[in-house]
Structure 1
Amino acid sequence: MRPDDCIQSYLQTLQKRMDVVAVLMLPDPDMLIPSREGLFMLAVVNHPQAECVTRRLRVAGRMIVEQQISNWKLEQGILRGLDERLVTIIQKADVIWEKRAGYVTQIKQRLSRLPEELQKKFICIEYSRLLRYFCETKECLQRGIKLDAYHAMIMSLHSWARCIVYEAGRQPEAALWAQVKLLDPSVYKLYEELSVSAEALDKRIELLVLAIEFWMSSAMKESVRFIIELMEKKEGPWRLAELMNHPEILHSQIELPLLLEKMLQRSLIREVALYVEELGCEELCFILSE
């Protein structure tokens, strides 16, 4: 895909900038950038930025939306996870120019292959979210709050869908359910039945509760592998606060207390009591089951 002749001068200006290492253009039109009037350009720059910088420009009468992202942020995203929309943009965008041949191709390849440690962590995050929303679904059903149960079930399915994508070693894209349809058609079918079936809403939700409960039970040990391997790094029991403040967990959004409770129920871990002298009582801690 080639840009219009009228914006060649704009591209030449970008190429002359010392900080620009690549320029990508998203095919037009595209649902990722709804209701836009012109072209969407992504400029990769070689200086750190806390957030992506976006500008709306008019060049020779043509509207251009220019978004800048630092190569530092891309590298961090490859290692720690990148926004789903941005991953999809990079994967779909055409390379207009790059300072080093093959740079963008390498970035795309690295984004398409999730590192094993990151894969375990993301699966654990989504599994814990699934557990939280699943509990909310059951509680709302018991209280007869059908629409809230439906909302919680939708959120449960989205977390399940992300688990499926991560298990395949891939990054979720903006069109998440299109990915899941290819990776696991049976889960896609469950989502479809919840959304469009003519059956009573509570019956649809109850059917999915059974399906999710079965999957969560069978997939639990592998889904919490990240927590198990973290706990293996220390001999002896872990305090809850110690686990929650661990650098690998602190900002991860893992629903840790709920997850640990479920791991206790499945005997993956067990409780041990440690006497706390200043409190005059015992603190319940966690240790891996042998």
Structure 2
Amino acid sequence: MEDILRPVYQERASQPNTLGVLMIEKKQKSSPTTDTFDAILLIVVKEADRSVYVKHYSYGNKKAALHIISEQQLHEWLLLGSNRKIIDWLYNGKILFDRNEYIHNLKIELQEFPFYGRKIKIGLEFAKLIRRYTDGKAFFDNQHYLDAYNHVVHSLHHLARLAVIENGFHPEVTVWHQVKKIEPEIFKLYEELVSSEEPLEKRLELLFLASEFLIHSRTQMGTAHIIDVLKEKDLWTFDEIMNEEELTAYSVDLGVLLEYLNEKNLVEVVNVETKGQSLFHRVYKATKKLY
């Protein structure tokens, strides 16, 4: 396949804007990593008008996909974890072109997983976990068990990804394969949820109890990033938190996370008077609670 695709990537490699070219070939009959394609050609460029450009090719009975992504988009995916395949592509792809060892150095950085980057990823994953757990619990309390089940499955995925990151690894597409080795307790919870013959209500009830402990034990680690940012000044409006550069990635999960932090006495709600009678502005401050 490499020979067939050579004219495609050689043209790109000759351009000074291109940082690296990787090829990822399908190794199994069915492979989620390559989106059913026989090969993926990943090209990272310094700058681009479009952050992602994809083109599909056919050759005989085979098919390939070309992905051209900007360096900014790549780093965004790596930070937010919003494209899980990218880790597999970088780890397992064959380097066809590497300007100034850009891809080589990126792979080393991924393996070392710098603490600062890990801290942000833990915070974002924890926020998603709290969102799913909270919504799932609300559905359960209102006896919407199938909706609760859906959210609980997602919350376990976030818990699993959190455990992987905590142990210094990047979550991959086969995250449960990773978790089975790293945190068998979480893997067992997932197995019991999807495989148990107990009534759904009972399965969910037991899982909420177990999850509560697992979430509580990770609260200090999971909230360290946002708490450190909030400590930078005394009082914050919600809009200020939402638009703070380091916290914008928390996005739609921010409101639920702040309520959780307030419940755990990690964030204090302060009422500030408005011109309206008995109406207050709700602002937030990090408490000095220590674990």
Normalized against structure 1, the TM-score is what? 0.84
Q: Do the aligned residues in 2 keep the contact of 1:78 with 1:110 (CA within 8 Å)?
A: no
1:26 aligns with 2:27: no
The alpha-carbon deviation at position 28 of structure 1 amounts to 2.3
**In structure 2, the residue corresponding to 1:83 is in which secondary structure?**
coil
CA distance in 2 between partners of 1:142 and 1:127 (Å): 22
- 1:270 alignment partner in structure 2: 268
CA distance in 1 between partners of 2:11 and 2:166 (Å): 42
CA distance in 1 between partners of 2:96 and 2:190 (Å): 38
Q: Deviations over 1:230-252 (max 9, x none)?
A: 11111x32223322332222343
**In structure 2, the residue corresponding to 1:165 is in which secondary structure?**
helix
The alpha-carbon deviation at position 83 of structure 1 amounts to 1.9
Matched letter for residue 92 of structure 1 = N
Matched letter for residue 263 of structure 2 = Q
Q: Do the aligned residues in 2 keep the contact of 1:10 with 1:59 (CA within 8 Å)?
A: no
- 1:107 alignment partner in structure 2: 106
Q: Do the aligned residues in 1 keep the contact of 2:242 with 2:251 (CA within 8 Å)?
A: no
Structure 1 residues 92 and 225: CA distance shift in structure 2, 3 A: same
CA distance in 2 between partners of 1:31 and 1:205 (Å): 29
Task: Pick from 240, 243, 248 the counterpart of residue 242 of structure 1.
Answer: 240
| Greater alpha carbon shift after TM alignment, 127-136 vs 248-257 | 248-257
- 2:141 alignment partner in structure 1: 142
1:203 aligns with 2:202: yes
Q: Do the aligned residues in 2 keep the contact of 1:6 with 1:60 (CA within 8 Å)?
A: no
Structure 1 residues 20 and 122: CA distance shift in structure 2, 3 A: closer
Structure 1 residues 145 and 90: CA distance shift in structure 2, 3 A: same
State the identity as a percent.
Answer: 26
1:173 aligns with 2:172: yes
CA distance in 1 between partners of 2:261 and 2:41 (Å): 46
Structure 1 residues 283 and 4: CA distance shift in structure 2, 3 A: closer
- 1:53 alignment partner in structure 2: 53
Q: Do the aligned residues in 2 keep the contact of 1:268 with 1:289 (CA within 8 Å)?
A: yes
Matched letter for residue 47 of structure 1 = E
CA distance in 1 between partners of 2:161 and 2:266 (Å): 24
The alpha-carbon deviation at position 229 of structure 1 amounts to 0.7
- 1:253 alignment partner in structure 2: 251
**Aligned residue runs from structure 1 range 30-49, under 5 A:** 30-36=31-37, 38-49=38-49
Q: Deviations over 1:166-201 (max 9, x none)?
A: 212332212221221222111011111111122222
Number of equivalenced pairs: 284
TM-align CA RMSD: 2.7
Q: Do the aligned residues in 2 keep the contact of 1:121 with 1:226 (CA within 8 Å)?
A: yes
CA distance in 2 between partners of 1:269 and 1:99 (Å): 46
The alpha-carbon deviation at position 209 of structure 1 amounts to 0.7
The alpha-carbon deviation at position 76 of structure 1 amounts to 5.0
The alpha-carbon deviation at position 163 of structure 1 amounts to 1.4
- Report which of the two has the higher share of helix: 2
Task: Pick from 257, 271, 276 the counterpart of residue 279 of structure 1.
Answer: 276
The alpha-carbon deviation at position 152 of structure 1 amounts to 1.4
In the alignment, structure 2 segments of 5+ residues that lack a partner are none
The alpha-carbon deviation at position 216 of structure 1 amounts to 1.9
The alpha-carbon deviation at position 160 of structure 1 amounts to 0.9
CA distance in 2 between partners of 1:245 and 1:7 (Å): 43
**In structure 2, the residue corresponding to 1:169 is in which secondary structure?**
coil
- 1:214 alignment partner in structure 2: 213
In the alignment, structure 1 segments of 5+ residues that lack a partner are none
- 1:65 alignment partner in structure 2: 65
Matched letter for residue 32 of structure 1 = T
**In structure 2, the residue corresponding to 1:32 is in which secondary structure?**
coil
CA distance in 2 between partners of 1:75 and 1:130 (Å): 22
- 1:129 alignment partner in structure 2: 128
Q: Do the aligned residues in 2 keep the contact of 1:41 with 1:64 (CA within 8 Å)?
A: yes
1:224 aligns with 2:255: no
CA distance in 1 between partners of 2:4 and 2:227 (Å): 57
Q: Do the aligned residues in 2 keep the contact of 1:49 with 1:69 (CA within 8 Å)?
A: no
The alpha-carbon deviation at position 214 of structure 1 amounts to 0.9
Q: Deviations over 1:91-140 (max 9, x none)?
A: 1111123343x432211222334333332333222222222222222232
Q: Do the aligned residues in 1 keep the contact of 2:80 with 2:121 (CA within 8 Å)?
A: no
